[in-house]
Amino acid sequence: MNQRGVTIWFTGLSGAGKTTISKAVAEKLRSQGYRLEVLDGDIVRQNLTKGLGFSKADRDENIRRIGFVSHLLTRNGVIVLVSAISPYHETRLEVKQKIGDFVEVYVNAPLKVCEERDVKGLYKRVRRGEITNFTGIDDPYEAPVNPTVECRTDLETVEESVMKVLDRLEELGYCSDKLKVGVG
């Protein structure tokens, strides 16, 4: 299959649904024979960026490293799905400019909803004072001003969010409308 490479960058607070949506998009793309790689922020931190902390400088370096790998894959015709909080606008913009073929997906859920989900138990630990410099609590999250796609996971189903992403990828010429068969 001849395909264009693109990085689909899922950004949002912890618990917003980045990994859930990116996995569902990846599954749909794989089922249609697209070549892709998934770079999940948690897995990347265990391997590629092990040793980096959560200071602004370390968070920026983490995103730059993910962006570097994404750029290499994208320019070689691979669809890259990144799910990483990536809290700072300027660093996301830097990575976007470097990669070029870049689709920013803002996975938007209010902090209250993310705390209620608390999939990893992190918000409880933050509230007990066990974790500091946590994005959205005592470290900022700079929401995208003009994302390519916005998924409101507090108001829509996973399937609706996946369709938004797939529709936009089709509009931008990265995949065909055959992806929509069997979704929704």
Active site residues: 86
Residue 66 has φ and ψ, to the nearest 5°, of -60, -40
Instruction: Provide φ and ψ at 113, rounded to 5°.
Output: -65, -45
Beta-carbon count within 10 A of 26 CB: 18
Exposed, middle or buried: residue 111 (CB in 10 Å: 0-12, 13-18, 19+)? middle
Residue 184: exposure state from Cβ atoms within 10 A (0-12, 13-18, ≥19): exposed
Give the amino acid at 121.
G
Q: How many CA atoms lie within 13 A of 162 on its CB side?
A: 20
Number of H helices, E strands in the chain: 7, 5
CB of 129 closer than 8 Å to CB of 123: no
Tokens of 166: 């797939």
**How far apart (Å, rounded) are the C-alpha atoms in residues 135 and 120?**
14
